[in-house]
Amino acid sequence: MKTILITGCSSGFGLEIARYFLARDWNVVATMRTPREDLFAPSERLRVLPLDVTDPESIRQAVEEAGPLDALVNNAGFGAASPAELIPMSTVRDIFETNTFGTIAVTQAVLPQFREGKAGVVVNVTSSVTYKPLPLISVYRAAKSAVNAFTESMAQELAPFGVRAHLVLPGRSTETAFRDNAGAFMHGLDHEAYEAVVKETFARVQDTSSPLTYSKDVAEAVWQAVTDPSAPMRIPAGADAKDWAAENA
């Protein structure tokens, strides 16, 4: 029976991905900063482990306790909405520390066993905002774009060892805690110079009449990446993400 480790499983996409693989008879190592087993139905194939992707010792302990793995999904991350001029450098560093450096660090911790075993799949969940520019998320987009570039180059290095790497790019979703988590990192949205762009951007975000991404869309895309050796490098997840991918093909 195969085993997958998933980061950021406390809510949203990560939680749905973990449940999806559990329902398909995989062993699941669901990680989050503060473990909550009550999020899942009891299962002998589930382990919930603490993991802070910004803490090297936490990463080491989680990977060691997880044991042999067949797949890794880097899903942990958060966003922030701010004009580029006004976002504090401390927030810039926090976003890159979790979304980019954390993804790289967890991947580095797992890759030796994949390379030595000549098998394994790494799936990095980024965002459809990397397909085209949007206002107020310049740093978040930059952090996710960096993961895209990292993953694409890494995939070429790993191919000779029989190890695959893929990107899953979700669109906008109302089923995650993204906006709630981003709230503490919003800066400068009340600045009069950016009033018009903030108003227009938030109106677009709150419009639920346009296509959206659902958590199941992301879980299905991750499943494809993990289980289908012919899966493409980039897999858009959600109707809006697929539209954007087609526009940028």
CATH number at residue 51: 3.40.50.720
Confidence of residue 36 (pLDDT cuts 50, 70, 90): very high
- Mean pLDDT over 135-155 rounds to 97
pLDDT higher than threshold 70 for residue 3: yes
Q: Looking at 20, 131, 140, 214, which residue is catalytic?
A: 140
Main-chain dihedrals φ then ψ at residue 231, nearest 5 degrees:
-60, 145
What's the domain count of the chain? 1
Mapped onto helix, strand or coil, the DSSP state of residue 108 is helix
Per-residue pLDDT reduced to its tens digit, 38-65? 999 999 999 999 999 999 999 999 999 9
Domain that holds residue 128: 3-247
To the query of whether residue 140 is one of the catalytic residues in this protein, the response is yes
Q: What are phi and psi of 87, to 5 degrees?
A: -75, 125
Confidence of residue 16 (pLDDT cuts 50, 70, 90): very high
The pLDDT assigned to 202 comes to 87
pLDDT tens column, 110-132: 999 999 999 999 999 999 999 98
Split at pLDDT 50, 70, 90, the class of 187 is confident
For residue 177, what pLDDT is reported? 60
pTM as predicted:
0.94
Instruction: Please give the pLDDT value at position 94.
Output: 97
pLDDT in tens, 192-230: 999 999 999 888 878 878 899 999 999 999 999 999 999
What DSSP character marks residue 7? S
Which residues have CB under 8 Å from 4's CB, separation 6+?
Answer: 21, 26, 27, 28, 29, 69, 70, 71, 72, 73, 226
Residue 74, classed as helix, strand or coil, is strand
Residue 77 — pLDDT band, cuts 50, 70, 90? Answer: very high
The yes-or-no verdict on residue 181 having pLDDT over 70 is no
DSSP state of 22: H
Exposed, middle or buried, 95 (CB in 10 Å: 0-12/13-18/19+)?
Answer: buried
Residue 186's pLDDT band (cuts 50, 70, 90): confident
State residue 179's pLDDT score: 55
181/86: higher pLDDT = 86
d(CA 190, CA 188): 5
Average pLDDT over residues 160-187: 81
